[in-house]
Amino acid sequence: MITDLRLQNFRSYEDASFEFGPGVNIVVGPNASGKTNLLEALLVLARGGSYRVSDQDLISFDAPWARLDAHNSEGGLRTIKLVTEPKPTKTYEINERQYKRLSLQTSLPVVLFEPNDLQLLSGGPERRRNYLDDLLEQTTPGYGAIRRQYKRALAQRNALLKQHGASDSQLFPWNVRLSQLAGQIVKARCLLLNRIAEELSELYIALSKTATKVTVSYSTPLSVATYETSLLKKLEASIELDRLRGFTASGPHREDMELLFEGHSTSASASRGETRTAVLALKIIELRVLEAARGVTPLLLLDDVFSELDGKRRHALTDYLAAYQTFITTTDADVVVQHFAENCTVIALSGD
């Protein structure tokens, strides 16, 4: 649990300090008052990076550095420093120990629910791939490194495909490397989806008060059981076609997570309310998966989504928030406070 936070030269904050409660914290203020920037600071502290901008864009305009300091309920101190000179650098300090990067062990489990997440099921497949991969980075040791290595290998193969005169023998080692890493990625994604599938339908029924059956699976044209071998054969067989395209058309970077309502795809049959309920269920499962994997209660960040949910879904969400330190941004505190009575901490921001 985070008890307090100081922001210096971070986004719209020159120097500001906040104290937080152990339960629901409601950050209220008009638009452009810094609500999302405050949540972003908590996410950067927890995971090491923003979901919106690069590290250097976190530093206030014309400032040479930025700094975040937060204490936890055990008295520990967590600091992140960003500087622009002599070169852009980010460093972490946790209980007086220095780190250059946050690992699974030094990061904090956190779930972010922001307006774009409501497009998780109706938007493009990249959003769903990132949802799976981001959660796997927080729960599976080494997954972040595998993900980065895959992106580098993919970039190398794509560069060779565009290079005039590059031979099949030059591509072969990258086909092998890509297939090896892809096999690990797909195995991890499928294990995670099996875990999500165990709870999704029952949780959706509880949230929606309907009997609709919701299922989720991994969508790939290749055999999951023999994925590494299947992808290598596919890459070898499609070299000429990939050369014409100028990119690699097969692999986990092109695959998807498929969610079905009564056997029908969400894009074809789900209403707006059904989609939002399904996304809400996924976020609750995300909290549970994180807590089970890490043995630590995650932080929950809700950025301007509470007002997007109708009364039934708001009540359903509040029922699941009791066990988590939660931060909710809103322009209308009354909308949120009525669901939490006196059991919340209100942080008021001005628009000045």
Per-residue pLDDT of the chain (352 residues; tens, 9 = 90+): 999 999 999 999 999 999 999 999 999 999 889 999 999 999 999 999 998 888 888 999 889 999 999 999 888 999 999 998 888 899 999 998 999 888 888 999 999 999 889 889 988 999 999 999 999 999 999 999 999 999 999 999 999 999 988 899 999 999 999 999 999 999 999 999 999 999 999 999 988 888 989 999 999 999 999 999 999 999 999 999 999 999 999 999 999 999 999 888 876 677 888 888 899 999 999 999 999 999 999 999 999 888 778 887 888 788 887 789 999 999 988 878 778 766 789 999 986 5
Kindly state whether residue 214 falls inside one of the protein's structural domains. Answer: yes
For the chain, the straight-line distance linking the first and the last C-alpha, in angstroms and rounded, comes to 29
Kindly state whether residue 81 falls inside one of the protein's structural domains. Answer: no
Residue numbers of the domain that contains 140: 117-295
40: nearest Cα among 19, 21, 59: 59
Kindly state whether residue 58 falls inside one of the protein's structural domains. Answer: no
| Total domains present in the chain | 1
Return the pLDDT at 268. Answer: 67
Kindly state whether residue 190 falls inside one of the protein's structural domains. Answer: yes
Return the pLDDT at 351. Answer: 67
Kindly state whether residue 1 falls inside one of the protein's structural domains. Answer: no
Return the pLDDT at 263. Answer: 86
CATH number of the domain bearing residue 179: 1.20.1050.90
Kindly state whether residue 148 falls inside one of the protein's structural domains. Answer: yes
Kindly state whether residue 76 falls inside one of the protein's structural domains. Answer: no
User: Distance between CA atoms of 199 and 125, rounded to whole angstroms?
Assistant: 22
Return the pLDDT at 315. Answer: 80
Q: Residue 328 has which token pair?
A: 């909710």
Kindly state whether residue 9 falls inside one of the protein's structural domains. Answer: no
Q: Residue 128 has which token pair?
A: 């769903």
